[in-house]
Structure formats: C-alpha cells, structure tokens
C-alpha cells in the first residue's frame, strides 16, 4: 500500500497500518478524496476516529498530508492518513477496516460505477467495510438532470425508480443494503473542496445515498 506523506511516497504493510490505527474505536475511509481536505477536517472534528483518504493522484494530497504530519499544536492530525490508489485497485491492507465509507461527489469512472452500476467496483468498496458499517455517498444530481449531457457521458437517469430497479438489487448482491436515497435540501452533510465548487451559489442538486454493509466477508 502506498502512503502519501508530503512529497514522499511510502510503502506500508497491514501491520504498519494496524499499529497506526490502534486505540481508535472508529475508522472512516473516504474514496476519491481529491485534495484530502475532507479527511483532514474530519480528523480534527472527530479525534476518536482514524480517517483515511484514498485517491489515485498522490500529488493532489501532498499539501494536506504534510500538514497532517506536523505536531498537533501546528495543525497536525495524527489520526489522518492518505493512500494512493484507484477504486479499481484498492489496497488489500484496507480490507474490512471502515466503520464508515464516504464517497463525496464522485466523478468520471467512479461515478459511473456507482450509478450504472458495476458489480466489481461495488464489491471492491464493500471489502473496505466491516459488517454493519455504512456507506454514505453524495452524488451531483444536476449531472443527471441535464439529460443530453448525461447521455453523452453514458449515464442513466438517476431517479427514484432507477434506484429501486437497478441500484438496490445490484448493491444488495455486492453486500450493501440501501437504507435511503433522497435529495438534500440546503447544505450537504460533508463539506469537501470539490463539493463546495459544485454547489456554492450554483443551484446544483445533491442526492444522498446511504447503505449498510451486510453479511460477513464481502464478495470476492
């Protein structure tokens, strides 16, 4: 597993990771974390939770991973970690750790995988979460509302009917039981740099999807 620490990339084992998270009662994993600021803020707001950001572009996480590595008095976050990986190749070292898995305004291939949906990606995400854990996804509904644009991207109409007919059975087969999906009024629950760019003074709509990890070990 590759960990980003400022401009340096380090190779960690599962043992390295377990030593780091020892003593924390909860683990949050944010997939597609971008610049990592959501993870940094979450680690500061919830010192009892170990927060892990995952993104394929390590260079985007350089600044915040360096800030997190400093002493606490200087803004350090000992309970934050930044991992370089794509959703198509999530590290085995992260398997079964997450009490909460977040996906905040995913884009490109990750967005497509969540809404088409693509079983291999859903199963890979499920393997990150311990049984009884939760998935929280914030989706940019406005992309789907613009049907000509969404069609060019190969995206379906993300309606309540699509959730029931396509997403619910596919998520269940992957080990996620969808609990709710609804439009969010006002501020979204997770503030991210990309999310703020999308929603601030834009009138864009956001769909919240939550699911519970069920069963024992995830498929695969």
Model pTM above 0.85: yes
Torsion, Cα 176 60 15 51, to 10 degrees, reads -50
Task: Report which of 207, 159, 200 is spatially closest to residue 183, judged by C-alpha positions.
Answer: 207
Chain segment 159-205, per-residue pLDDT in tens? 999 999 999 999 999 999 999 999 997 655 555 443 444 444 456 78
In angstroms, the Cα distances linking 200 to 70, 76, 204 are 31, 28, 8
Rounded Cα gap, residues 155 and 151, in angstroms: 6
Query: Tokens standing for 8?
Result: 């340096």
Chain segment 197-210, per-residue pLDDT in tens? 444 445 678 999 99
171 and 177 Cβ atoms separated by less than 8 Å: yes
Q: Residue 214's CB: how many other CB atoms inside 10 A? A: 17
Q: Does domain 2-213 have CATH number 3.40.50.150?
A: yes
- Res. 216 pLDDT band, cuts 50 70 90: confident
Domain boundaries, the chain: 2-213
Chain segment 24-71, per-residue pLDDT in tens? 999 999 999 999 999 999 999 999 999 999 999 999 999 999 999 999
- Directed axis angle between helix 119-126 and helix 108-115, to 10°? 100
Taking CA 28 as the corner, what is the angle to CA 69 and CA 20, rounded to the nearest 5 degrees?
45
pLDDT at 215: 87
Q: What is the mean pLDDT of the chain?
A: 91
pLDDT at 119 over 80: yes
């Amino acid at each position: 597993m590759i960990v980003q620490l400022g401009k340096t990339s380090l190779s960690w084992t599962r043992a390295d990771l377990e030593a780091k998270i020892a003593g924390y009662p909860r683990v949050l994993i944010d997939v597609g974390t971008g610049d990592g600021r959501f993870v940094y803020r979450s680690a500061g707001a919830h010192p009892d939770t170990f927060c892990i950001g995952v993104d394929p572009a390590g260079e985007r996480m350089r600044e915040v991973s360096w800030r997190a590595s400093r002493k606490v008095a200087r803004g350090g976050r000992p309970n934050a970690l930044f991992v370089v990986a794509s959703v198509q190749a999530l590290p085995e070292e992260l398997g079964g750790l997450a009490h909460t898995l977040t996906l905040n305004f995913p884009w490109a291939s990750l967005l497509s995988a969540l809404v088409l949906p693509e079983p291999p990606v859903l199963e890979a995400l499920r393997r990150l979460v311990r049984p009884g854990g939760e998935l929280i996804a914030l989706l940019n509904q406005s992309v789907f509302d613009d049907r000509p644009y969404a069609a060019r991207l190969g995206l379906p109409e993300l309606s309540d009917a699509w959730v029931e007919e396509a997403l619910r059975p596919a998520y269940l087969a992957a080990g996620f039981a969808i609990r709710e999906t609804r439009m969010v009024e006002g501020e979204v629950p997770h503030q991210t740099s990309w999310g703020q760019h999308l929603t601030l003074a834009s009138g864009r709509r956001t769909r919240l999807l939550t699911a519970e990890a069920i069963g024992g070990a995830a498929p695969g």
